[in-house]
Structure 1
Amino acid sequence: MRLFIALEPPQALRGRLGELADAAHARCGGRRVPDASLHLTLAFLGEVAEERADELAQWVGAMAIPPGEWRLDSWGRFQRPGILWVGGRTPDPALMQLQASLWQGLEALGFAGRPRRFVPHVTLLRRAARLDMEGLPPVDLAWAYRRLALLRSFTENAGARYEALAHSA
């Protein structure tokens, strides 16, 4: 099964991110990420055997993370896959530390794949026809986070759908 560990936005923030996704979609086209799928990926694990998934679910469920707040204040894009996203202008030290410590724990469990570079972002559009950010509404959001989610990804015709397998304490 295809797994990743992420932060899920609170409901009010999810709605605001959805409004930004609507504005971006109207301007840039492409495939809009559904509100229910909006998240910040901290660790993409890829295909994981079911028994390892059970181990990960227990590990995540027993974990406690320090609460934090991430400031989203800019638009960004990844040119090649046509992704438009929102994130922070400057790296958030607490979020960067959370991602690094998460990967330390995953590596101790035998998982590999830590990215060389971590760019915290929330993907709003995939396969955008245009990646012109000019004229998009300003971004100024605060994301208070307190727990992680171990998510399973299902690929369907309409795009990816996610199911939470575990949440941290």
Structure 2
Amino acid sequence: MRLFVAIYPSPEALDDLANQVDRLRVGTSAAAGLDVRLTPRDETHLTVVFVGEMADARLTEVHDALARSARSWRPPVGTSGSVELVGVPRLRIGGGGFFGAAPDLVLWAGLRGDVDALHAISLATRRELTLAGLPHDPRPYAPHVTLARPGRRLPPEQVEADRSALDGYLGPAWSADELVLVRTNRPGPGTRYDRLAAWPL
């Protein structure tokens, strides 16, 4: 099975983001019938760590590692560090950009607020997966929310216009209060992602 670890925005944040996407070129193009591969509202998330392919027999090990990371990401009380938080991280979706180039161009929205906390959560999760001998993507963490995968379906200037429009976007604040283990389904009809388990942050 193919796994990743995620944090999901609040329903209010997702509604506000969906309204913003509707006004972008990717949104109006999708409404006109062009397949720009918009991320469905209920699948919109920010990836904390991409785990990849995992044998079913190791799922308990993954659960245990994520439980430990959810408990351990904060710095000890009274110590210095990049994250000094009381309670859970408060975030807002805002800004944006794109990764890659056609045919693999991805339009994304950024995060604002306690972004240092996201890095701490990702580092703690990677650490626990490593200690358990479990695989994960080692690339540097870049927190974002994928909005669409327009590829070559939109002219580059329209994707750039969307990126520019996202510069002025800032959604409502929400609390990142749980870490979620997600399985990616095989291509085909139906739900793309299954939430397998969650741990409070």
Amino acid at match of 2:165: L
Question: 1:52 is aligned with what amino acid?
Answer: R
Asked if the contact 1:21/1:33 (under 8 Å) is kept, the reply is no
Q: Is the 8 A contact 1:22 1:32 kept in 2?
A: no
Paired residue secondary structure (1:9): coil
Which is bigger in relative contact order (C-alpha 8 A, separation at least 6)? 1
Counterpart for residue 136 of structure 1: 165
Shift of 1:72: 2.6
> 156-165 or 121-130, which moves further after superposition?
156-165
**Shift of the alpha carbon at 1:156?**
2.7
- In the alignment, the residues of structure 2 paired with residue 82 and residue 159 of structure 1 have an alpha-carbon distance, to the nearest angstrom, of 24
| Alignment size in residue pairs | 169
Separation in 2 of the partners of 1:158 and 1:76? 29
Residue deviations 1:72-101, cap 9 Å, x none?
321111133211110037982111111111
Partner in structure 2 of residue 116 of structure 1: 139
After TM superposition, the score normalised by the length of structure 2 is 0.73
Specify the SS of the correspondent of 1:5: strand
Unpaired runs of at least 5, structure 1: none
Q: Which of structures 1 and 2 has the bigger CA Rg?
A: 2
Distance 1:22 1:73 in 2: 15
Whether the 8 Å CA contact 1:32–1:124 is kept in 2: the answer is yes
Partner of 2:14: 14
Partner of 2:55: 49
**Structure holding more helix per residue:** 2
Q: SS in structure 1 opposite 2:50?
A: strand
CA distance in 2 between partners of 1:116 and 1:8 (Å):
21
CA distance in 1, matches of 2:106, 2:191: 15
Aligned equivalents of 1:61, 1:101: Cα separation in 2: 11
- Higher mean C-alpha displacement, 104-113 vs 130-139: 130-139
SS in 2 for 1:53: helix
- Give the counterpart of 1:31 among 34, 37, 48: 37
Alignment RMSD: 2.6
Q: Given residue 151 of structure 1, which amino acid in structure 2 is its aligned partner?
A: V
Q: 1:61 to 1:166 in 2, by over 3 A?
A: farther
Alpha carbons of 1:96 and 1:54: their partners in 2 closer, same or farther (altered >3 Å)? same
Following the alignment from structure 2 to structure 1, what is the Cα–Cα distance between the partners of residues 174 and 145?
A: 11
State the shift of 1:12 in Å.
1.2
The question of whether the paired residues in 2 share the 8 Å contact of 1:23 and 1:136 is answered with no
TM-score by length of 1: 0.85
Question: Which structure has more strand as a fraction of its residues?
Answer: 1
- Between the two proteins, what is the percent identity of the paired residues? 28
Matched residue type, 1:19? N
Give the residue type in structure 1 aligned to 2:3. Answer: L
Q: Secondary structure at the match of 1:156?
A: coil
